[in-house]
Amino acid sequence: MSDTFELHSSIWREEPQAENPFTAERCFAYGYDVYGDVLPKSSWPEYLLLLFTGERPTAEAAMLLEKLAIALANPGPREPSVRAAMNGGVGGSVDAASLIAALAVGAGQYGGSHEVYLLVETWNRLGADLDGWKRYLAQPNQGYREDVWSPIEHAPGFDPHGVHCAKPVLQSLTFLAEVSPGSALAWLCVHRSELEHQCGLPLAMSAVAAAAFQDLGLSGSQAIMLYLMLRLPGAAVHALEQEKLGWKRFPAYGPAIHLSDDPGALGTPDVSRFEL
Amino acid sequence: MSIEDLLAAQNRLEGALGKAFLSERVVMRGKDLHHELGKQGWLGLLVYAITGREFDEKQLRFMNFMWVATSYPDASIWPNQVASLAGTARTTPSLSLVAGLAVSEARLYGRKPDRRSMDFFQRAAAKLDQGATLEQVIDEEIAERKVIFGYGRPLARLDERVAHTLQFMAELGLDQGRHFNIALDVHRYLKGRGLSINIAAVYASVMADMGFTTEEYQLFLTLIFSAGMVPCYLDAKRRPEGGFFPVACENLVYSGVGARSW
């Protein structure tokens, strides 16, 4: 730990204003002048990939990220992370709290970013080893050690409640494989049915995302960060929408909740003297 | 779950651990919140919510001590620094504390080592039951995992909480538990390698003696840094905005590639 109070980075450099050392005159990301050069010339996915990988991406990689961002942008209001954000919106929480709720819930292992992490790490370990993948998917918790993350409860990348692969998943996989400069998405297209048969479950969007991140050359932790970011637009707009719709049009689950261990009504104290 | 199960679960949640019958009563884990739980301390309620068990006064005093003794109001501590930055950036009180608590689920400190420390003592106890010697348990652990969570501060820098905690445990009679005594035995063994017990091992072993699982233990600890964060947030908030250890451009030390054109 440093006691010189310096921050270290190989990503970002700033040149200060002559008159104020706390205001940047120019900012550089991996050597590129962000506001003088990148801003007028780069697209958003190109800049994102520069920040994550340190290199200006190919047009194909930037296209893949842009299309992946569309595929992931809104999981829809039935999805847990979006529903969590909607719980923020409906109660009038500060807007940031709705996104924090979406990030926390969307970080999980049931369609969330940790499931994507497990898959990207496995891609990095196994690559296109089909038999290796089959062994992994049959026993995804092999070698599990105590952690804040529980053992995963289904084959990562597959929908534990699915019957057939969802059309949006198939459409995303097919299109992204066509535009991808890598081979993971294409491999997943070819072997999807075999892997689904092995797991007894249909492929899920988390597997498509993970293969795309593999094709972009990202690590598991980088994939977590991008996956969480890319899914926030849906959480944001549904939280805002729910606030406008109002609480009367949001599910009130109270009557549907039933106890198995209920002491029953024990009465209410007599406070009649307070004349409430 | 089958499609039929999912369809049924759309409109019905059976066997819930709690429910609020609004305008009437509230039930938590089979007890009426106001009639049966309302007059006990909040910490007792928290551990009841976590475990479904009630703890005696000495155990609750120890748990309370853990929370008090871990409330370090020092802005250099990472989760506290998050609260300070939240204060200097003028975000809301709740967002500040949530952010600080969220980062406490960390690898180098906080919840991950806490869980792994308890996990070690529970596995060690099981191995000892199966006839292994303590030396074998420790050596295997180090060979497999390279570290024993809860041990590591150099001997010259004994965790300042340890002495206070051990003394209080002795006063409460909580120093006879099996996992705690394994923790002490491990310390004696590792002392020869220049490692000493830190507070994570003491806490984890005592809470294991109280029957906590690792998940229950993490849930109990999740808010434990909160009291220490509050002064950090307030201290930053009472200073000019952006005034918490500001960083000049030149103190951002760059080590990447040189200037280039897009």
pLDDT in tens, A195-213: 999 999 999 999 999 999 9
ipTM of this predicted structure: 0.94
Out of A9, A21, A33, the one facing B248 most closely (by C-beta) is A21
What residue in B sits closest to A41 (Cα-Cα)?
B262
Report yes or no on B213 lying in a domain: yes
Report yes or no on B123 lying in a domain: yes
Give the model confidence (pLDDT) of B186-231 as tens digits.
999 999 888 889 999 999 999 999 999 999 999 999 999 999 999 9
- Confidence class for position A118, pLDDT limits 50, 70, 90: very high
Partner B contacted by A78 (CB < 8 A): no
Question: Residue A11 pLDDT more than 60?
Answer: yes
How far is residue A180's CA from residue A215's CA, in Å, rounded to a whole number?
7
User: B36: which chain A residues are within 8 Å (Cβ-Cβ)?
Assistant: 263, 266
Neighbour count for residue A133 (Cβ, 10 Å): 23
Q: B208: domain range?
A: 111-221
Same domain, B201 and B119: yes
Same domain, B44 and B115: no
| Chain mean pLDDT for chain A | 97
Mean pLDDT confidence for B13-41: 96
Mean pLDDT confidence for B18-34: 96
- Confidence class for position B152, pLDDT limits 50, 70, 90: confident
Same domain, B208 and B123: yes
- Confidence class for position B157, pLDDT limits 50, 70, 90: low
For A33, phi then psi, to 5°, come to: -70, 105
Neighbour count for residue B226 (Cβ, 10 Å): 18
Out of B19, B35, B248, the one facing A266 most closely (by C-beta) is B35
Contact B145 A145 (CB under 8 A): yes
**Per-residue pLDDT, B213:** 98
Same domain, B115 and B45: no
How far is residue B168's CA from residue A80's CA, in Å, rounded to a whole number?
44
**Per-residue pLDDT, B159:** 78
CATH number, domain of B131, equals 1.10.230
Q: Nearest Cα to A35, choosing from A25, A43, A44?
A: A25
**Per-residue pLDDT, A3:** 60
Question: End-to-end alpha-carbon separation of chain B, Å?
Answer: 52
Number of compact structural domains in chain B: 2
Contact A148 B115 (CB under 8 A): yes
Structure tokens at A50: 């520069």
How far is residue A106's CA from residue A102's CA, in Å, rounded to a whole number?
6
Tokens 């070819």 found at: A190
Report yes or no on B194 lying in a domain: yes
Report yes or no on B153 lying in a domain: yes
State the DSSP code for B53.
-
For residue A92, give every residue at least 6 positions away whose Cβ sits within 8 Å of its Cβ, in sequence order, or none: A243
Partner B contacted by A94 (CB < 8 A): yes
Mean pLDDT confidence for A120-147: 97
Contact between A175 and A205 under an 8 Å Cβ cutoff? The reply is: no
